[in-house]
Amino acid sequence: MRIRVLGSYGARLPGFQTSSLLIDERILLDAGTVTAALDLDRQTAIDHVLLTHAHLDHMVDLAFLVDNVLTLRREPITIWAPEEVLESLRRHLFNDVVWPDFSRIPDAGRPILRYRPLPAGRSVSIGGLQVEWRRTEHPVFTAGYLLRGGCGSILFSGDTAATEAIWDLGRACEDLAMVFLEVSFPDRLGPLARASGHLTPAGVAAELEKLGRPDVPVMLFHVKPQFLGEVEQEIKELGDERLRLLKGGEVFDIADRARAAR
């Protein structure tokens, strides 16, 4: 499993792009930043999109991606998520008001976009990976994902405040190679973080206690850029060498990580 970070922040400013990972060149995990990070050939190669939730910073580039590749692909791009997330896309984005309904373009028989709901509580094969989700704590329906590849697995929290079920998946995964965990605000804004369904550095420490996997590196994403300096300092003060802030453009080879952990 090869992971390219297209965007890793919780808002957009010059030099800061919103959340998206490209996995094995074919799978997007969230779609906050796609078209500004990938050339047209790489956009056309994307077959699957996994969405954690339907907030704008995690799905906005779906609109431009399907428009860009409309005439370049023979098969549709498949959007995978719990049904509640897909319904939000249908009603609020691809609704022929905000943006065209690309599940019917160029026609309903061969659209550029199709929706596939992910069942609760069981694994589904997507692009050579086994994918399972659990709900996390956010104001809208949000899923965190466990992705299993042949040489290791990753856990991706999505946006969340203090949560439980996703850590059950992580604890049970023997080949867990990396965790991607959100952190959005500095500790002084804890009440705002809790009200908006996010974590601070202190919250990160508490969540990782639940996971109980001190052997696994943790990549922190979704920082609001205006608070980056504060959050960076507070993460450093935790003194946990597993933790580091994710940056756009980074590439991780999970097979290499899994071998190094043995």
pLDDT, tens digit, 9 for 90 and up, residues 147-191: 999 989 999 999 999 999 999 999 999 999 999 999 999 999 999
Instruction: Report pLDDT digits (tens) over 69-104.
Output: 999 999 999 999 999 999 999 999 999 999 999 999
Mean pLDDT, the chain, rounded, equals 96
Give the whole-angstrom CA distance, residue 50 versus residue 57: 14
Q: Cite the beta strand spans of 35-142 per DSSP E.
A: 48-50, 77-81, 113-117, 124-126, 129-135
CB 132 within 8 A of CB 170: no
pLDDT over 90 at 256, yes or no: no
Map out the domains of the chain with their CATH numbers: 2-261 (3.60.15.10)
pLDDT over 90 at 205, yes or no: yes
Give the HSE-up count for residue 91: Cα atoms under 13 Å, Cβ half-sphere: 8
Q: pLDDT band at 257, cuts 50/70/90?
A: low
- SS3 at position 24: coil
pTM of the model: 0.95
pLDDT over 60 at 50, yes or no: yes
Give the whole-angstrom CA distance, residue 84 versus residue 124: 17
Give the whole-angstrom CA distance, residue 133 versus residue 144: 6
